[in-house]
Amino acid sequence: MDTNNGSSTTDFILLGFSDRPQLERIISGLVFIFYIVTLVGNTTIILVSYLDAQLHTPMYFFLSNLSFLDLCYATSIVPQMLVNLWGPSRSITYGGCVLQFFFALDLGSAECLLLAVMAYDRYAAVCQPLHYTVIMHPQLCQKMVLTAWLGGLVGALILCSLTLKLPRCGHREMDTFYCEMPALIKMACVYSKVMEIVVFALGVVFLLAPISLILISYGFITQAVVRIKSEARWRKVLNTCGSHLTVVTLFYGTAIYMYMKPQNSTSQDEGKFLSLFYTIITPTLNPLIYTLRNKDVKSAVKRIMCVGKWSAKS
């Protein structure tokens, strides 16, 4: 039962599109397909980056971490979502909701920082090619990834603790597919100025600051690309940077629109589709974008498959 301070040990109800069951059946099928593609695509990138010695570079170290983040992020949300979409019950336990909310925040915040790290890596590769191996040495790469993970953890702990302290006055229904911050804040029966300030401040730290660094990095990259005379190197730079820039646009575009605008300015259905996009579709597209536009990854997959076939025959 709800207590005076608004805490609860009862289940939450995730409404989704329960008023449109036919649409939910279509959505559940698409979510299942996208989740399978997410699992296969991101696992493939992680394994290929680890197994192929030619991909033991900072770029693929960061890319494999991005794939691992996407894998964990989707897995923290999709299985429970499918259970609710396929089963008669649309509930999630209080503990399950807290865990889902925390891990989604943690992994999403870490990805914001990691994408900025990857932009710096591309800047060093394109603008400082002669000093690239010195600048992006393994110890620095590991520290940058660790900073992204720890930064996401700190941000999630702050937002999660403040959000869960908001009194809900018996409210249990969330008009969404999973436990996310906007839905939990809307359940609160009081307005919290402190919460609004903290959300905005952390939005600057995890969204606006990283995207600003990314844009600055690509400003220098653009200047360097203009000076490149080799067509082959010019195309390679565009392919690798283009993949990262596409992922950045998809991820930050929806996240900034969702979290940095006033919550009451987004319609319920619009918010639900945006949530589906950045939780389901983006983790699915990331490995496809990097593999379809990247000859190194495709070549590595072919080499590993050839070695596997040769081993099986021998």
Condensed to tens digits (0 to 9), the pLDDT of residues 117-171 reads 999 998 998 888 889 999 999 999 999 999 999 999 999 999 999 998 888 887 7
Q: Is the pLDDT of residue 30 over 80?
A: yes
Q: Is 33 helix (H, G, I), strand (E, B) or coil?
A: helix
CB atoms within 10 A of CB 150: 12
64 Cβ contact partners less than 8 Å away, ≥ 6 residues apart: 45, 46, 49, 50
Question: In this predicted structure, what is the pLDDT of residue 68?
Answer: 95
Alpha helix positions (H), the chain: 21-51, 58-86, 94-127, 132-135, 138-164, 181-187, 193-203, 209-227, 231-259, 268-276, 282-292, 295-313
Q: Is the pLDDT of residue 263 over 80?
A: no
Tokens of 138: 């393994």
**The predicted structure's pLDDT at residue 260:** 63
Q: What is the pLDDT of residue 290?
A: 74
Of 65-79, 84-98, 105-119, give the lowest mean pLDDT range: 84-98
Q: What is the pLDDT of residue 249?
A: 84
Q: Is residue 42's pLDDT more than 80?
A: yes
Instruction: Please give the Cα distance from 218 to 127 (Å, whole number).
Output: 10
CATH topology of domain 12-313: Rhopdopsin 7-helix transmembrane proteins (1.20.1070)
Weakest mean pLDDT among 71-80, 182-191, 227-236: 227-236
CB 81 within 8 A of CB 31: yes
Q: For position 262, what pLDDT does the model report?
A: 60
pLDDT at 28 over 90: no
Cα separation, 118 vs 115, in Å, equals 5
The amino acid at residue 220 is: F
